Structure 1
Amino acid sequence: MSEEGGPRRLLPDLSPLRSTPDFRLLWVQGFVTYCGSAMAMVALPLQIKHLTGSPLAVGAMGAVELIPLVVFGLYGGALADAVDRRKVIIGTEAALGALAVVLLVNALLPSPLLWPLYLVAAGVSALTGLQRPALDALVARIVPHDQLTAAAALTSLRWQAGEIAGPSLAGLVVAFAGSATAYGVTAVTFAVSVVMCTRLAPAPPARGAPKPSLRGLAEGARYAWSRPVLLGTYAIDLAAMFLAFPHTIFPFLADELDATWSLGLMYAAGAVGSAAVGLTSGWASRVRRHGLLVVCGATVWGAAIAAAGRLDQVWPVLVCLAVAGAGDMVSGLGRSTIWNQTIPDELRGRLAGIEVLSYSVGPQLGQVRAGAMAGWTGTRPAIWWGGAACVGAVGLLAALLPRLLTYDADTDPDTRRNRTAKISDPSPG
């Protein structure tokens, strides 16, 4: 291998951006949306903290988000298989922008109210549950089969770029211009996103797609239950997020470390580590054992979170959070590739709904766990204990579901079937 070839093999694979115009549009639209959403992501828990001074009250935000996410995530999966996915994305983006306006109006009141913050959090959760299956299912359809890992890396890199820019800027905006300005920026970015989404090509349902129903949801659940590899990805992600997702108590961690200025950096640190993996993700397109990526990445995530909870200096804590983000990115690449390679298009939306639950319900429950445990044992024990428990849980699940560790993209029958179907019929709609 030449010196020039070595570094180039680490660079991100840009094939999906070159070959698929709609993927390019989704990539840019998602970056704009996430930068704006990050403003609200930082401002909302901080505003609840200022109004209540209670870590439990901040953690309760996860509780009010949980039921809407479960209900609308499952329904959104069925909807993504039954209607034009483009229309779902446009409608939910517009509604999310309207909720940002509600936050703006409340923040401009002489005495902002607490209950609208929880109400909006629940609404955002419901709309996210409706939207994400359509987004995920659309990417799986429009990107060529052999570029799905590269698409997962580029999509994650987009989110990480947004997480770095958004929270870092949000911390400064909230500190110097207030929550109202942050919510105003969020509303504007959603308006821009809606305009961009109208340029996407229509994405009608697959041939013979059923209408949303409990029977359709049950069919998707049966398919997932019959695939040990899929079950392993869901279970490990749920465990990692439930046990080791302390983001909601970062404002209290910053106070304990006497570094309130670092709050935005804490939210962004994980994205820095993820982005480092994304920027050197050329290797990922050559990996065939994606189950190993899931297990190894989740183990690194938990170990780094545990270390962050044990340290008492802010800069080493930030380094640990960055390492955790790198582990999460590696695990996410494995999960996304397995999902997109093995699930048939006619079930993609319903399974994407289950995936929304696996990577979203975990963080919501994790917020509740972290907030409750911080109120009981203190902030830092709540962080390090959760990270250590995550490492143990991932090891146990890997032992119970060995098919995940042996998954091979070249030999797995579901992957081979979908590869053949996509080649013979590249436009299922």
Structure 2
Amino acid sequence: MAFGDFVKRHLVDTRPLSVPAYRRLWAGQAVSHLGLAVTFVAVSQQVYELTGSSFWVGMLGLANLIPLVVFGLWGGAVADAVDRRKLLVAGSLVAWASTVLILLQALLGAPNVYALLGTVALGAAGFAVSSSTRGAIIPRLLPPELVPSANALNSLVYSLGAIGGPMLGGVVLVHGGFAAAYAVDAVLFSAGLYAALRLPALAPLGAVSRPGWRSVAEGLRFILTTPVLVMSFVVDIIAMVFALPRALFPELIDLRFGGSLYALSWLVASMAVGAVVGGLFSGWVTRVKRQGLALTFVIAVWGLAVAAAGLSQQLWLVLLFMAVGGAADVVSSVWRQSILQLYAPDEMRGRMQGVFMVVVAGGPRLGDVRAGATASMFGLTTAWVGGGLACAVVVLIVGLSVAAFRTYRAR
């Protein structure tokens, strides 16, 4: 096979970037996601300096989670009833306003932990609405065969941001302080806002339901009566709740590698590094048609990679297996999102993205609770390795037992 053919078949498919509206949206996400990561690092450090308590730093997670759940569901319902371009602009403005407010408190030199938590919650609400809406917009901008490729490109952006954003945040904090970090976010966020403003009008298609909690309930009923969609969420919950070992990272580093902060930082970044590699070599992913079956097996690979990392005694092996897990995770996210965007009719896509937001936000946190609780009862190795193996076994049993999901072919 010629090198050019290899590149075309295996490297990330960039064809969606030939569509100007999607290209602007993707580039806006890439830039603004860096700024979001900078603020995440800065606000965590500022809350800790204000309170001296990890409890209050942990409360930032709650301040994010509640709005993500509530406004993810509500925003998805609204996205099915109004012009999605206008809603994306509105959600982006709310998120941008929260960044400006947090910048002002830093400039005024009057920080307050409750004000910071409230501002973070406001930003999470805007993020939830805009993210749900953006996910529903992509199938309107691209032909169906390019949607999986677009999701691979989106995953690549998030993974790169997960690596580069915290690094940029650390540098800015050291040299410029909190105000400089928040100012970076406010400036970079303008790229995402510009992309939203340049979108064409995206009025609703098909039947329109009045936005509200009754509309949310309709969306949930649609999911629960559609086995393919139910399973796309179930397998993700299995992956995160059973196998995510994030809460065990500090204990593993302490017990096996002498508590090295460098080792911890590498471990934290290892999944994102694997996700970047997986995203770069995702060309084959977009050609898979039996996405339900493939999704089942790739989540089993994720579980086995996590289990192997938990058994490894050398740091490089732990990092390698967690990177493999990160690559498997990014592949699974492409297929899950593609199933969700293409299987549901357009008038349901906003609500589907809202539920997706809730699962993505809640699953990892439930996984943290599971990992911490089982480690306290049965020890680190049992919690880590047992969770990975349980994920692989359970997802194979569940995924292969549902015929509609097992035989699903990409539309």
Q: TM-score, normalised by structure 2?
A: 0.85
Give 1:356's aligned residue. Answer: 357
Per-residue CA deviation, residues 56-92 of structure 1 (Å, 9 max, x unaligned), is: 6555543443332222111111110111111222222
Query: CA shift at 1:264, angstroms?
Result: 5.3
Q: Aligned letter for 2:11?
A: L
Q: Which runs of 5+ in 1 are unaligned?
A: 410-414, 416-429
Please give the alpha-carbon distance, in whole angstroms, between the structure 2 residues aligned to 1:145 and 1:53: 50
State the distance in 2 between where 1:14 and 1:316 align.
Answer: 32
In structure 1, the partner of 2:300 is 299
The aligned counterpart of 1:290 is: 291
Deviation at 1:122, TM superposition (A): 3.0
The 8 Å contact of residues 69 and 361 in structure 1, kept in 2 or not, is answered as: no
1:246-304 Cα distance to aligned partner (Å, 9 max, x none) = 55676776677533245654444322212212212221232111112322222233333
Equivalent positions of 1:21-170 (< 5 A) are 21-47=20-46, 58-105=57-104, 113-170=112-169
For the structure 1 residues 303 and 113, does the alpha-carbon distance in structure 2 shift closer, same or farther, using more than 3 Å as the test?
A: farther
The residue type paired with residue 140 of structure 1 is P
CA offset digits 1:327-360 (Å, max 9, x no partner): 1011112112212221111111122212222222
CA distance in structure 2 between the partners assigned to 1:171 and 1:390 by the alignment: 35
How far, CA to CA, are the matches of 1:309 and 1:365 in structure 2?
19
CA distance in 2, matches of 1:387, 1:112: 42
Q: Equivalent residue for 1:418?
A: none
Q: Which moved more, 1:341-350 or 1:395-404?
A: 395-404
> CA-to-partner distance for each residue in 1:20-55, whole Å, 9 max, x for gaps?
211001110000111111112334445556666766
Answer with 244-253 or 191-200: which moved more: 244-253
SS in structure 2 opposite 1:408? coil
Deviates more, 1:378-387 or 1:214-223: 378-387
Structure 1 position 134, deviation (Å) = 0.7
Structure 1 residue 129: deviation in Å?
2.3
Tell whether 2:307 aligns with 1:340.
Answer: no
Q: 1:361 to 1:182 in 2, by over 3 A?
A: same
Contact 1:242/1:365 (8 A) holds in 2? yes
**Aligned-residue identity in percent:** 39
Moved more, 225-234 or 180-189: 180-189
Deviation at 1:392?
A: 4.1
C-alpha distance in 2 between matches for 1:383 and 1:116: 37
- Cross-structure match for 1:277: 278
Aligned residue for 2:8?
8
C-alpha separation in 2, matches of 1:354 and 1:185: 31
Letter in 2 for 1:184: A
Q: What is the CA RMSD across the aligned residues, in angstroms?
A: 3.3
| SS at 2:205 equivalent | coil
Q: Does the 8 Å contact 2:81/2:210 carry over to 1?
A: yes
- Return closer, same or farther for 1:324/1:48 CA change in 2, 3 Å cut-off: farther
Q: Residue by residue, what CA displacement relative to the aligned partner does 1:360-411 show, whole Å, maximum 9, x if unpaired? A: 22124334555667788888876555444433442343244343222123xx
Q: Could you tell which deviates more after superposition, 205-214 or 28-37?
A: 205-214
SS in structure 2 at match of 1:202: coil
Q: Residue 324 of structure 1: CA displacement?
A: 1.8
Whether contact under 8 Å (1:103, 1:120) holds in the other structure is: yes
Are 2:335 and 1:327 aligned? no
The one-character-per-residue Cα deviations of 1:161-220 (angstroms, maximum 9, x if unpaired) are 222322333344445655543333222212333233212222122244222033322322
Segments of structure 2 that go 5 or more residues without pairing to the other structure are none
Q: Which moved more, 1:321-330 or 1:308-317?
A: 308-317
In structure 2, do the counterparts of structure 1 residues 57 and 156 end up closer, same or farther at CA, with 3 Å as the change threshold?
A: same
Residues 168 and 264 of structure 1 are in contact (CA less than 8 Å); yes or no, is this contact kept in structure 2?
no
Within 5 A, what are the aligned runs for 1:304-319? 304-311=305-312, 314-319=315-320
Mapping of residues 147-296 of structure 1, within 5 Å: 147-174=146-173, 177-247=176-246, 257=257, 258-261=259-262, 265-296=266-297
Pick closer, same or farther for the CA change 1:265–1:175 going to 2, 3 Å.
farther
Partner Cα separation in structure 1 for residue 47 and residue 249 of structure 2: 13
1:46/1:235 Cα in 2 relative to 1: closer, same or farther (>3 Å)? farther
Q: How many residues were matched structurally?
A: 409
Matched position secondary structure for 1:348: helix
Whether the 8 Å CA contact 1:65–1:364 is kept in 2: the answer is no
